[in-house]
Chains A and B, each alone.
Chain A
Amino acid sequence: MITFTIDGRDVEAARGETILNVARREGIYIPTMCYLSKTTPCASCRMCVVEAEGVEGFVLSCQTPPTEGLSVTTHSELLETERVNIMRMYDVNHPLECGVCDKSGECDLQNKTLEFGIDRQHFSAKDQAREIKNWGLIHYDPSLCILCEKCVHVCNEIIGDDAIEVQFGGYKSTIIPKNSDELDCTFCGECIAVCPVGALVSSEFQYRANAWELSRIPSTCAHCSAGCALEYEIKTGGAASVGQESIYRVSNNFEVATLCGAGRFHFDFTADTSRDTADFSQATDALRSCEAIRFSSVITNEEAWILQKLKETLGIKLYNEDARHFQEFMRAYTMKSKQLHYGASLADIKASDAIIMIGSRISTDNPGVRYAMTEAARHHGAKISYMHPLEDTLMQNTITQFVKYEVGTEEGVVALLALALLQDADLDTEDKNILDQLDEGYLSAESNVGEEEISLMMNAFARSTKKTLIVGSDLLSHPQSHNIAKLIGLIAMHSDFRVMIVPKHVNTLGVSLLCDLDADEQTASVVGYNAQGDFVIASSGARDFSVPALNQQEGTVTSVDKQVLPINVAVGFEGSTLNDLASAVGVVARETVDYTCKLPESKGFQAVVFDALENFYTPLGDDVRGYYLSTRHIADVRVTPLQDIDELPEFNGTVVYHCEPVRQFNSYTAYHSDEEDRALVGSPQFAVAAKISDGDQVEIALRAHKVIRHFRVDETLKGTVALHPTFDLPLEVLDGQYRFEKVKIMKVGS
């Protein structure tokens, strides 16, 4: 700790902590225009200069750590003069169009201009014509841009797209797409979020509303398990009447949190009852008479708990293949790790200097995890081994080693990892024997993961101290997932790697903890809850009876961080909820969220009532949303030994990998998709092998389903596995199934 003073107050700084950080922590105000908590300092605005005793001139507080005994002054006449002059410069030729600017009312420039009392243009410089750019979802007006560089920093350091840069040119400096004429990125919109002025705005939101007309509803993103905090901004005034409010945009606390493009732009998935074919009594009848309820993991913990209660009360079965596979995987994992939950959090990933990611196309499976990996790479120089049959160009600037394995050989690959990571581990004799007897040569040959690749990986990790293993859903749904889970459990227990097992949907983890699930036997008489069934109760897609979507109800979801997070009502829903239906068939509660405090403590949940759950970040960036599942050590679990690995499967022929394009996850995001998103995408090599060409309409015969899709060749892809989207298909078509699938593809039509 370094002791020093700010404005006469004794303060302490941790190693590497800057003067600005300490000041903020201590509640001492230093003005900034370009500072962003989550990135390295942009250091462009120079507003945060302070005086330091014994130092001639001013010191930049955002990038200077203090020295012992230093005496810092944050406000003086001299500092004020220079800060005022900087603001005067910022205002030179800034268009006076606040009246129509999207940012007006929440604009840093506007605020600081008022704060520093700049009421006229003090300096002058020749104005310049600047071309407005329309980059798809993103709209850039360079004459409003103050070149703070926040957008460039987040894009590179947090997101990893690294798609924009400053074109240096003094007064003419501007933001441009990097290495291309048009913006080529994942359109996460993070640049819009951090823009302090109206330079970068959402094309869809532009000119639709003023900041002060919008009410903010804090909630949690519904699209994947990352559990990102967001605020639905809704407009109720004007032409909208109560109950007809709509979401105008999604914003977030960009200082500390991040959102992907789906979270930011795909918010309009609200349900209504207009197309219902059945009424309340028919829905309750269906529940009473069904043998099973099939449901998706895109529901709240409370809904899951109600379903569990329905099972107990009505004596029916519960189908959810996604959560069931997760549950089974975790059961096997627990056998060897002795922990109910996996250990790693997103914060652990961000702080890692070594990461192994296996079995996921993580950039689209879970952008939150991807962003955490980006941070690890940038801020900690993490060595990242990405193990997967398919390369992902989006991850190139993040990963340091791509280890390609053959489709289907995940069990062998995980065994090879276990052999490398558990060399000196003190294992049970039985497990040790199994590992010792593994035929490394065979596993290596079949999986195509060479010994030298593993040793390269281990060498790269030689200096690392914070290591994380990220396990993706390819492994969860693998036919050998049970043994894989045990191997992963052993790694968690006996190596210095923390493990994260990435749940697929927004609440896969919650459902897996709350529901006692049955294997889906495709029984007759199934009620689908946000899933296919003989009678469908859902918030999206074709349905018999509507229930509110995840932005129309209160409840909680359990994120990949094992955090129980509140969701809120952004837009009202004129209809019934699952709780209403359940109450009518004997599982009675007044409100859905009455169950929030009743979620089982044995699974790590806490007895906290919904209204007591907070949902915000403190100004210093502390996450005080909901609560974290408490860790549970499981000693008395029935343990079975590892299995020997006798044969690794082979996948020949036409193989597709079920994964989504960027900004797509499920039916909630599907409304905001186009043919391009729904296309089958393959390498030129795949096209040749499958005898199809770019632009063809093709019929893809999946296990239980046929789809017609447009085929697109992507030159950046390699190999003979194509990417097949599933977001527009009913969930259970693919949930719980191994993500690589041998298919028949036929060209159709012309």
Chain B
Amino acid sequence: MSKVYFSTWRGEAINNFGKPEDAWEESAYKLPQQYNEHADSKAFIGWDGVALFHEDVDVVRLATEYAAQYQVYSEACGRCAPGRWGGRILFDLLDKIARGEGSMEDLAHLKEVAQTMQTTSKCEIGKTVPNPLLDLMQHFEDDFMTCITEQAASKHYNEEINYIAKITAPCTDACPAHVDIPGYIEGVRDLRFDDSLKATRQTMPLAHTCGRVCPHPCEDECRRANLDSPISIMELKRLGADYETDHGFNFFHPAQKKPSIGKRVCVIGAGPAGLTTAYYLALEGIDVDVYEDLPVLGGEVAVGVPEYRMPIDKYNQDIEAVKDLGVNFFTNTRVNADMMRQFEKEYDAVMIAVGTRLSKKVRCENERPEIEGYWGAIEMLDQVNLWEKYGIGENVDLTGKTVVCVGGGFTSMDVVRCSIRANAKKVIMIYRRDEKTIIRNTTYEEYHEAVEEGVEFIFHSAVSRMNDENDVLKSLDFDRFELVPDPDGGRAQLVKIEGGGFSKEVDFLIPAVSQSADLDLLPPEWELEMTSWATILTNGKDYMTSRKGIFAAGDCEYGPMTIVNAVGQAKRAASVISRYVQNGGKITLTDDEIMEDHLRKMKVYNKKETVSGWLAGLPRQVSEKLHVDIRKDNNNEVNLGFTQEEALSEADRCMRCYYIAMVAH
């Protein structure tokens, strides 16, 4: 809810002309009324309308500046005739009117060009730029007419006003790493795979990885879904990454690495968050040292995500790209509090990105870690992956064993599917809720593939007790639950069914309910503020902890979440740190980042919007998966990815929904 003088945003028609400010009708949307802590916004203008927060806004100039911003953003145009020339004509005509030299004919031409852009432009940015301009011309016709009839400049034509613009897209907005998704898909469509990869790497260094194991929240906010079904966004990321790898190119970095600026940053943890921080800091010419507890680089994606889902040679390519920028890595180095104290002195900033590597308990009776057969998911996956991918440690062989995993998320899926591959006799997944929820928490593919491979799913159940003989696990007791709908429409309640319990003889209980952060490394006297989830607290915008110069990102900040979330946080943190180390320890956000946060709050995707200009019904491509019989006893990658033809058809479905939004303050 924002207080507005006037708004046409998302079709609303709020017009408080002549009303006193306290009687203003409010907008239904979370518009960026306050730009940042220092400045109030005067107006917000974007693809779906315009909102004025003050009476005194110079709408003619606002329109002109919006058209000008459209010119500035190179990725916005230059790719189609109506956008390229139309955008320039719009600006020239508007500016002519705004400076008091316009004519009625110019107004007519404006409308004519606007119409052509709206119906024929290549991307949504060209199609939507005229929308708020036409709104303004309609609702503030007098202002435009005054400029024309009196041949006078608009009222604030010569004043200093800040106009901050930002390009976005629904998918980009939904992606925690804000990847330029339409950009990388356009690269695929145009067969310019290097450009595709560069678009990805602007904000996401792990292109191979997030082309495989991302839960793709972007696809939930893909505008194509309004027409038929969303673009298969995630998998298209592979094309650029494979192009670089297959042809043995030097790494396509999004920008040339700057020469060293003599600043040093230390990163604890070489997982997705640590790698991302290192990558973007190194690009800025900052010297980065990364310390990693494990003997290998990559964090949970290396030792947690199994080979069949994320082949290590592909992940290593992503890691090599980081190494290519000269980042120093120290493996087998467990950082402790003393080292942290030292790092704080030695480095210009410290990033904590240690993830969450402690398996939480299932909370049943007799849950004692010393019982043989009780095996934390993290430890189990560590052993599997270190052996399968690196030949470190020993092989996990579950021949003849019965394994029960308690979970429901990605980690538990990895546990059960690895157990199948380790030749377990029987693999059971215990989940408190239902099938629908497990699919929502993971992906349909993950669940479906696990079932195919022979995992038995028992829903609405939980382990109530571990039964051991001499500290050797023998069996488990389970409770059964039923879902009782909440009469108030809330989340259904789990209610235990009395007498519905059952027991099973098992060899292993693997808890994969959740993980927590191991933060022994934090010097106690720092008294870092923590969240109620026992993760490190930051404001979620600049990722500095309560201690100056100490930053945190990824799972140890957010709690166990996705790779892309860790990447997004770390990318932002790297940007903040790169300025922090250069400007005397000030925490700042760029205008682009401020706008990014505003837009995410408003949400760019509009589920209710009707899509025009595209033919519905072109099928979403589905990549080939390795058949269950040839995959379940080995680590061959299950998802074979798109063929080139499939990828190109899929890329053709992308509607290039770029938008431009602008705030005046």
Interface residues of A (CB under 8 A from B): 16, 33, 40, 43-47, 49, 52, 55-60, 63-67, 70, 82, 85-86, 89-90, 92, 122-126, 146-147, 149, 153, 156-157, 165-173, 353, 378-383, 396-400, 402, 463
Report whether A85 and B80 are in contact in the complex, using a CB–CB cutoff of 8 Å: no
Report whether A86 and B120 are in contact in the complex, using a CB–CB cutoff of 8 Å: yes
Known: A123-B85, A169-B78, A381-B647. A82 touches B119 (CB 8 A): yes
Q: Which of B78, B243, B652 contacts A63 (CB 8 A)?
A: B652
Q: Which residue of B lies closest to A34 (CB)?
A: B81
28 contacts between A and B (CB under 8 A): A40-B191, A46-B80, A46-B81, A46-B122, A49-B119, A57-B612, A57-B614, A58-B120, A58-B613, A59-B615, A66-B615, A67-B616, A85-B113, A89-B84, A89-B116, A124-B89, A146-B81, A149-B79, A156-B192, A165-B192, A170-B70, A171-B71, A173-B84, A353-B644, A378-B191, A379-B644, A397-B249, A398-B247
Contacts of B643 in A (CB 8 A): 353, 381, 463
Contacts of B584 in A (CB 8 A): none
Which 5 pairs show the lowest CB-CB distances between chains A and B?
A381-B644, A173-B78, A57-B613, A57-B612, A89-B85
Contacts of B590 in A (CB 8 A): none
Q: How far is the CA of A652 from the CA of B659 in the complex (A)?
A: 63
Contacts of A147 in B (CB 8 A): 78, 81, 84
Additional 4 contacts, C-beta under 8 A, given A40-B190, A122-B109, A170-B74 = A45-B80, A46-B120, A58-B119, A381-B643
What's the interface size class on B, roughly?
35 or more
Report whether A55 and B87 are in contact in the complex, using a CB–CB cutoff of 8 Å: no
Contacts of B644 in A (CB 8 A): 353, 379-382
Contacts of A44 in B (CB 8 A): 79-81, 122
Q: Which of B73, B80, B618 contacts A67 (CB 8 A)?
A: B618
Q: How far is the CA of A92 from the CA of B85 in the complex (A)?
A: 8
Residues of chain B from 614 to 636 with CB closer than 8 A to chain A in the complex: 614-618, 624
Residues of chain B from 633 to 665 with CB closer than 8 A to chain A in the complex: 640, 643-645, 647-649, 652
Q: How far is the CA of A124 from the CA of B102 in the complex (A)?
A: 13
B635 to chain A, nearest CB (A): 14
Report whether B247 and A168 are in contact in the complex, using a CB–CB cutoff of 8 Å: no
Q: Which residue of A lies closest to B120 (CB)?
A: A46
Contacts of B80 in A (CB 8 A): 43-46
Q: How far is the CA of A65 from the CA of B116 in the complex (A)?
A: 23
Residues of chain B from 61 to 93 with CB closer than 8 A to chain A in the complex: 70-89, 92
Q: Which residue of B lies closest to A48 (CB)?
A: B120
Q: Which residue of B lies closest to A173 (CB)?
A: B78
Known: A46-B82, A59-B613, A379-B644. A153 touches B71 (CB 8 A): no
Query: B572 in the interface, Cβ–Cβ < 8 Å?
Result: no
Report whether A402 and B248 are in contact in the complex, using a CB–CB cutoff of 8 Å: yes
Q: Which of B79, B89, B121, B192 contacts A123 (CB 8 A)?
A: B89
Report whether B122 and A52 are in contact in the complex, using a CB–CB cutoff of 8 Å: no
Known: A16-B649, A40-B190, A171-B88. A89 touches B615 (CB 8 A): no
Contacts of B116 in A (CB 8 A): 82, 85-86, 89
Report whether B190 and A153 are in contact in the complex, using a CB–CB cutoff of 8 Å: yes
Contacts of A45 in B (CB 8 A): 80-81
Q: Which of B246, B613, B648 contacts A400 (CB 8 A)?
A: B246
Report whether B612 and A56 are in contact in the complex, using a CB–CB cutoff of 8 Å: yes
Most chain B CB atoms below 10 A, which of A43, A64, A122 = A43
Query: B583 in the interface, Cβ–Cβ < 8 Å?
Result: no
Contacts of A63 in B (CB 8 A): 652
Q: How far is the CA of A156 from the CA of B188 in the complex (A)?
A: 13
Most chain A CB atoms below 10 A, which of B92, B119, B615 = B615
Report whether B120 and A64 are in contact in the complex, using a CB–CB cutoff of 8 Å: no
B51 to chain A, nearest CB (A): 26
Contacts of A46 in B (CB 8 A): 80-82, 120-122
Q: How far is the CA of A123 from the CA of B75 in the complex (A)?
A: 24
Q: How far is the CA of A167 from the CA of B81 in the complex (A)?
A: 15
Known: A45-B81, A156-B192. A171 touches B87 (CB 8 A): yes
Report whether B112 and A85 are in contact in the complex, using a CB–CB cutoff of 8 Å: yes
Report whether B79 and A168 are in contact in the complex, using a CB–CB cutoff of 8 Å: yes
A154 to chain B, nearest CB (A): 11
Known: A169-B74, A170-B71, A381-B644. A86 touches B81 (CB 8 A): yes
Q: Which residue of A lies closest to B239 (CB)?
A: A381
A611 to chain B, nearest CB (A): 42
Q: Which of B87, B92, B112, B119 contacts A126 (CB 8 A)?
A: B92
Report whether A67 and B248 are in contact in the complex, using a CB–CB cutoff of 8 Å: no
Q: Which of B77, B121, B191, B640 contacts A170 (CB 8 A)?
A: B77
Known: A44-B79, A147-B84, A171-B85. A124 touches B92 (CB 8 A): yes
Contacts of B248 in A (CB 8 A): 396, 402
Query: B264 in the interface, Cβ–Cβ < 8 Å?
Result: no
Most chain B CB atoms below 10 A, which of A165, A172, A402 = A172
Report whether B615 and A171 are in contact in the complex, using a CB–CB cutoff of 8 Å: no
Q: How far is the CA of A168 from the CA of B80 in the complex (A)?
A: 11
Q: Which residue of A lies closest to B110 (CB)?
A: A123
Contacts of A172 in B (CB 8 A): 78
B538 to chain A, nearest CB (A): 35
Report whether A171 and B616 are in contact in the complex, using a CB–CB cutoff of 8 Å: no
Query: B189 in the interface, Cβ–Cβ < 8 Å?
Result: yes
Report whether B648 and A49 are in contact in the complex, using a CB–CB cutoff of 8 Å: no
B38 to chain A, nearest CB (A): 31
Residues of chain B from 241 to 260 with CB closer than 8 A to chain A in the complex: 243, 246-249
Q: How far is the CA of A147 from the CA of B72 in the complex (A)?
A: 18
Q: Which residue of B lies closest to A33 (CB)?
A: B81
Report whether A55 and B612 are in contact in the complex, using a CB–CB cutoff of 8 Å: yes
A163 to chain B, nearest CB (A): 13
Contacts of A353 in B (CB 8 A): 643-644
Contacts of B71 in A (CB 8 A): 170-171
Report whether B191 and A125 are in contact in the complex, using a CB–CB cutoff of 8 Å: no
Report whether B113 and A123 are in contact in the complex, using a CB–CB cutoff of 8 Å: yes
Query: B342 in the interface, Cβ–Cβ < 8 Å?
Result: no
Contacts of B470 in A (CB 8 A): none
Report whether B81 and A463 are in contact in the complex, using a CB–CB cutoff of 8 Å: no
Q: Which residue of B lies closest to A18 (CB)?
A: B652
Q: How far is the CA of A66 from the CA of B615 in the complex (A)?
A: 8
Report whether A397 and B247 are in contact in the complex, using a CB–CB cutoff of 8 Å: yes
B129 to chain A, nearest CB (A): 11
Report whether A40 and B88 are in contact in the complex, using a CB–CB cutoff of 8 Å: no
Q: Which of A149, A173, A396 contacts B249 (CB 8 A)?
A: A396
Query: B539 in the interface, Cβ–Cβ < 8 Å?
Result: no
Report whether B247 and A82 are in contact in the complex, using a CB–CB cutoff of 8 Å: no
A465 to chain B, nearest CB (A): 9
Report whether B618 and A65 are in contact in the complex, using a CB–CB cutoff of 8 Å: yes
Contacts of A146 in B (CB 8 A): 81
Contacts of B79 in A (CB 8 A): 44, 149, 166, 168
Q: How far is the CA of A60 from the CA of B656 in the complex (A)?
A: 13
Contacts of A59 in B (CB 8 A): 613-615
Q: How far is the CA of A55 from the CA of B189 in the complex (A)?
A: 23
Q: How far is the CA of A443 from the CA of B124 in the complex (A)?
A: 59
Q: Which residue of B lies closest to A52 (CB)?
A: B615
Query: B610 in the interface, Cβ–Cβ < 8 Å?
Result: yes
Report whether B617 and A125 are in contact in the complex, using a CB–CB cutoff of 8 Å: no
Q: How far is the CA of A358 from the CA of B79 in the complex (A)?
A: 40
Q: Which residue of A lies closest to B249 (CB)?
A: A396
Q: How far is the CA of A124 from the CA of B645 in the complex (A)?
A: 42
B619 to chain A, nearest CB (A): 10
Known: A56-B610, A57-B612, A402-B248. A89 touches B81 (CB 8 A): yes
Q: Which residue of B lies closest to A179 (CB)?
A: B194
Contacts of A168 in B (CB 8 A): 74-75, 77-79
Known: A56-B613, A82-B116, A92-B89. A170 touches B78 (CB 8 A): yes
Most chain A CB atoms below 10 A, which of B119, B120, B644 = B120
Q: How far is the CA of A123 from the CA of B76 in the complex (A)?
A: 21
Q: Write the B478-493 contact mask toward A (1 if CB under 8 angstroms, else 0).
A: 0000000000000000
Q: Which residue of A lies closest to B649 (CB)?
A: A16
Q: How far is the CA of A124 from the CA of B191 in the complex (A)?
A: 34
Report whether B640 and A463 are in contact in the complex, using a CB–CB cutoff of 8 Å: yes
Known: A40-B190, A124-B89, A381-B643. A171 touches B121 (CB 8 A): no
